[in-house]
Structure 1
Amino acid sequence: MSEPVTHAEAVETVRELIKDIETAMLTTISGDRLVSRPMQTQDIEFDGDLWFLTKKDTSKYTELLADPRVNVAYAGKSYVSISGTAEFVNDLERKKEMWNKMYEKILDVSYDDPNLVLIRIHTETAEYWESGSAAKMVTHLLKKAVGKNSDPRSEPGLNETVDLTQAPNQS
C-alpha cells in the first residue's frame, strides 16, 4: 500500500508523465455509448486542469453539453488515464495564448472565431502506469486473458491512482 500523496505531489506526478505526449484521447459520452477522439495536448504546464480547443459545431461540443463527464488517456513512455468534468470557456486571451498555425489548418478557423471554444477539464483522478511497467502490464493482461490469476497492483510502483481534486482550504 503506498502512502497518500499531497495535491501538489499528485499534480507534479501527472505533469511529469504527460509532459512530452503530444496527443491525448478524449472520451465523451454520447447517449448510451462512449466516443473517443484524438486531441492535441496544449503546450502549457499542467496545473491540475487540462485544456483543449474545439469548435462549437462538433459532436464533442454537443456531447459535453449533455454530459460533461470525460476521460482523457495518454500513451507514451507511461500510460495515464485521467477522469474529470469538462466546461466550456470563452477566453479570447487564453485562446490566443494557446494558438498556433497548426490549429488554423486543422480546425480551419482563427483563434478569434466565435465558433472556437476552449474545453477546460477539471480533473478528479489520474490512474497511471509508470515507465518500465508496460511489459509487466502486458504480462498481466495476457495472464488474465488465459484465466490465470494476476493483479497489476501487486507489483510495486506498477499502477497508482492519485486524487487530483483539491480540498477548498489547500493551496
Structure 2
Amino acid sequence: MSEQSEQEKRIDELYDLVDGIETAMFVTQREDGQLVSRPMATQKRNPVADLWFVTDVESNKIDELDQNPNINLSYFSTKSKEWVSVSGTATISTDRAAIRALYEPDWKMYFGALDDVRNGGPDDPRLALILVNADSVIYLKQDKSTPAVLFELLKGRITGDRPDLGTVKSVTL
C-alpha cells in the first residue's frame, strides 16, 4: 500500500473513531501556562476544518486561544477502549454565513435564550466556530470484538500481564 493511501486510511480511521465518541476533552493553555480541559461536542464532519466545534464568544477559551492557538483534543470510548489524541491549532470564526450554513438546532440548548437577539439561533452573536487543523494524531483503533476486549482485560487482571487492546497508530499531517 502506498504511503499516501496508508495515511488516507488512517485519517478515515480517525474520523470513524471520532464519530463514535460523542465528546472531546478540548485542552487549551491559560495565560499563566496552566492547561484547561473542558468537554465539547465535535460537530459533524465537514471540509471547513479537520475538526470543528461551536462555542460562545464570551467564554474563557476564546481568550486562551487568542493567546495560544495550540490545542489538544482527547477522545476515549469506555465501551471499546479506543482513544484518540489530536494536537493542532485552532482558529476562531464568527463568519455569520458559515455559522448559518453549519447551524444545528440542538445548539440552542447550550446557549439558551437571553433575549430576542441572543436566542441560541443561527444569528445569535454569541455563536462562534472553533476550527481545528490537526498537526498530529495518535490513536488506538480496536481490531477486536467487545467480548475479546473484555476477555483481554479480565485475563490481564488475573495474570497481571498487560492486556493486548490493539495497536497504537499515528498520523502526522
Q: TM-score, normalised by structure 2?
A: 0.73
TM-superposition CA deviations, 1:75-102 (whole Å, max 9, x none) = 1232001000001122323322332232
- Aligned twin of 1:97: 101
Greater Cα offset, 87-96 or 58-67:
87-96
Measure the CA separation in 2 of the matches of 1:120 and 1:137: 37
- Asked if the contact 2:18–2:84 (Cα under 8 Å) also holds between the matched residues in 1, the reply is yes
- Percent identity between matched residues is 28
What RMSD, in angstroms, separates the aligned Cα atoms of the two structures? 3.0
Equivalent residue runs for 1:7-156 within 5 Å:
7-30=7-30, 31-45=32-46, 49-76=50-77, 77=80, 78-108=82-112, 109-131=120-142, 132=144
> Which protein shows a greater Rg?
2
Q: Deviations over 1:94-120 (max 9, x none)?
A: 322332232112122222122211100
Matched residues in 1 for 2:101 and 2:74: separation?
A: 24
Contact 2:49 2:131 in 1 (8 A): no
Distance of aligned partners of 1:44 and 1:97 in 2 relative to their CA distance in 1, 3 Å threshold: farther
Pick closer, same or farther for the CA change 1:22–1:85 going to 2, 3 Å.
same
Contact preservation (8 Å) 2:100, 2:122: yes
Please state how far the C-alpha of 1:39 moved relative to its aligned partner: 0.5
SS at 1:96 equivalent:
helix
Query: Across the two proteins, how many residue pairs are aligned to each other?
Result: 152
Aligned to 1:168: none
Paired residues of 2:149 and 2:165 also in contact (CA < 8 A): no
2-side partners of 1:58 and 1:99: how far apart?
Answer: 19
- Shift in CA distance, 160/36, structure 1 to aligned 2, threshold 3 Å: same
Q: Tell me what 2:115 maps to.
A: none
Q: 1:137 to 1:18 in 2, by over 3 A?
A: farther
Unaligned runs of 5+ in 1: 166-171
| Distance across 2 between alignment mates of 1:15 and 1:62 | 28
Q: 3-state SS of the aligned residue for 2:20?
A: coil
Q: Is the 8 A contact 1:27 1:37 kept in 2?
A: yes
Q: Deviations over 1:103-141 (max 9, x none)?
A: 1121222221222111000101111112249777996xx
1:158 to 142, 163, 167: 167
Q: Which amino acid aligns with 2:137?
A: A
Counterpart CA distance in 2 for 1:158 and 1:137 is 15
Asked if the contact 1:50–1:121 (Cα under 8 Å) also holds between the matched residues in 2, the reply is yes
> What is the CA–CA distance in structure 1 between the aligned matches of 2:18 and 2:171, rounded to whole Å?
14
